[in-house]
Structure 1
Amino acid sequence: MTARIAWLPGNRLHLNHGPIDVILQGWGDPRALTEGYAAVADRFPAILPELCAELPALRAPDAPLHGPVARRMAAATAPFRPAFITPMAAVAGAVAEEILRLFVRPGITRAYANNGGDIALHLDRGESLTCAIAARPHQPHHLPDRVTIRHADPVRGIATSGWRGRSHSLGIADAVTVLARSAPMADAAATMIANAVDLPGHPGITRRPALDLAPDSDLGHRLVTTAVGTIGRQEAVMALCAGEAAARAFRTQGLIEAAALFLHPEHRTVGPLALSVPEPESTLA
């Protein structure tokens, strides 16, 4: 498995290594940008091997960790205990933040690292970025909603989780998008809120032990959602209310800034989250 680094149209750098799939883009002084991209290209191939070397500890709720990305994952997930969570809940956001940390330097005015939808942001004074979020998976005729982050906002990380995503979920949310002060924290919170959007024991929901689907899953024998049948509007409201309560608690604790929760045909927002549909050219995916 070889790390691949290639340019995409629009001056975007694509970084791929196994499950890591990052789009990196920055704006600012050309020399600073060149130096930043070079620093990322130099470091990127080592990130996945470093994580793999610590996988047993990363899959445990509370084990000592050593690498910079692994420690960032642990720091982001620790505030959500004693509920079950392992550092793996923040892996995508932590990798995105590591890439951005390597990239940003004086002269770069704004930048993002998007790791499969979990996004780390850098914004100088006066700058902003508009990000698309997967809001209505059941309604393809709608454009995805967008959220704009400005320098003055405390948000520097965006993450999305749900049972349809790349990772397994204990809940039934179509999507939960979280805005937080860092990408790893947003990643961990999105996982926890998506887990909370649930209808325990509902006959229309199919679940299987995580280890049946992925023998090395950090979720062990916990039941993860594999299919969600037809549920009524009131049932969707009940499930979303549980997730909304978790999101409000996390916001009260200062762990998140805002969240959007989606379960067809309902949705909820928590915190100052203004969704809009701006001009496509101003939006990063």
Structure 2
Amino acid sequence: MTRLPQIALLPDGKRLHLQDGPIDLIIEAKGRDADVRSAYQAAAERFTGLLDELCTELAELRSAAGPDRCLLKGVVARRMHAAVAPFATDCFITPMAAVAGSVAEEILGEMLRTTTLDRAYVNNGGDIALHLGEGEQFTVGLMDRPDRHGVMRTMSVDADMPARGIATSGRHGRSFSLGIADAVTVLARTASQADAAATVIANAVDLPDHPAIMRVPANELQPDSDLGGRPVTRDVGPLADHEIERALEAGAARARMLLMSGLIEGAALRLLGETRLVGATGDGTPASHAFQEPTIEHMLQA
């Protein structure tokens, strides 16, 4: 029997919920009623079978990405590889590091290929693909930690900003992390790029060999993990202020390199109550207004 995804409007009648296995999307579009309906229909049709499409290449998607050669066939799979390829020369990374953002990007793209919308987002568990028409703005509430409620601050993305992707990674998220960050949220030009970069920056927030940090091989927790036997963070004990600062600076240094390379537009790094902002989030660029105090238009858990 063919497995069918769950497709339904949420109780507010404005947002669409699509769920199939580990893929769980919340979608909202703004525009004429007929255009919104067409966009939601297009999203549902493209979503159906997408998980099966990815599973046909799962072994390759879980393998270390090469910086140049890509043997993947599917459009989403190839987008995943393209997002992680810039990092493959100096660290271990697989295309799975960009799966959530790439799926969100694909669904949003299908909606926009079908009709014209004023604004739309596809939120895949906190990894978000955005469309903003002229004069539109998107505001997202950032969590102190992805596994808890409570807004740390909000982030606004205007139509005149280049960022159209938001992603969060860290040791409390859905995927394993090699670092100790509670959360790293990244702005990038696409959701797939933001997803890959958030993973890399979160991994860089670290204190290697620190006795207060408990690590376990990833494949002991999940036998088919794409990280294999690499140690992933399971707990972080008390750290001195200077140690928190050192770990955050390691991540911020990585984020600044990606900013200078044009791979991200900004990042917010969070560890044990302390925050470091880079680029569009506070390094003096024209988009330094991106992060504000909590006045929420949309609160989406990152």
Bin for the TM-score computed over the shorter chain: over 0.9
1:67 to 74, 81, 84: 74
Question: Is 1:250 aligned with 2:258?
Answer: yes
Can you list the C-alpha shifts for 1:6-59, whole angstroms capped at 9, x where unaligned? 111331000111110100000001111111111111121211001111001101
- Residue 287 of structure 2 aligns with which residue? none
Change over 3 Å in CA distance of 1:278–1:197 after alignment to 2: closer
Cα shift at 1:138: 10
Aligned partner of residue 8 in structure 2, secondary structure: strand
- Residue 48 of structure 2 aligns with which residue? 45
- Residue 133 of structure 1 aligns with which residue? 142
Cα shift at 1:100: 0.5
Q: Which amino acid counterpart does residue 73 of structure 1 have in structure 2?
A: M
Q: Structure 2 stretches of 5 or more lacking a match? A: 282-289
Rounded to whole Å, the distance in 2 between the matches of 1:145 and 1:26 is: 24
Number of matched residues?
Answer: 283
Q: Structure 1 stretches of 5 or more lacking a match? A: none
1:222 to 230, 235, 238: 230
Rounded to whole Å, the distance in 2 between the matches of 1:26 and 1:284 is: 15
- Residue 128 of structure 2 aligns with which residue? 119
Can you list the C-alpha shifts for 1:154-198, whole angstroms capped at 9, x where unaligned? 000000000111000000000000000000000000000000000
- Residue 165 of structure 1 aligns with which residue? 173
Contact 1:126 1:151 in 2 (8 A): yes
Can you list the C-alpha shifts for 1:226-245, whole angstroms capped at 9, x where unaligned? 11111111110010010000
Contact 1:100 1:113 in 2 (8 A): yes
Scaled by the length of structure 1, the TM-score of the pair is 0.95
**1:79-98 equivalent positions in 2, closer than 5 A:** 79-82=86-89, 83-98=91-106
Rounded to whole Å, the distance in 1 between the matches of 2:261 and 2:142 is: 24
**RMSD of aligned Cα (Å):** 1.6
Rounded to whole Å, the distance in 1 between the matches of 2:7 and 2:88 is: 37
Rounded to whole Å, the distance in 2 between the matches of 1:8 and 1:144 is: 26
The runs of at least 4 aligned residues of structure 1 exceeding 6 Å deviation read 137-140
Question: Is 1:8 aligned with 2:10?
Answer: yes
Cα shift at 1:132: 1.4
2:119 to 110, 119, 132: 110
Q: Percent identity?
A: 54
Rounded to whole Å, the distance in 1 between the matches of 2:206 and 2:27 is: 34
Contact 2:151 2:294 in 1 (8 A): no
- Residue 176 of structure 1 aligns with which residue? 184
Scaled by the length of structure 2, the TM-score of the pair is 0.90
Rounded to whole Å, the distance in 1 between the matches of 2:28 and 2:147 is: 30
Question: Is 1:57 aligned with 2:82?
Answer: no
Cα shift at 1:143: 3.0
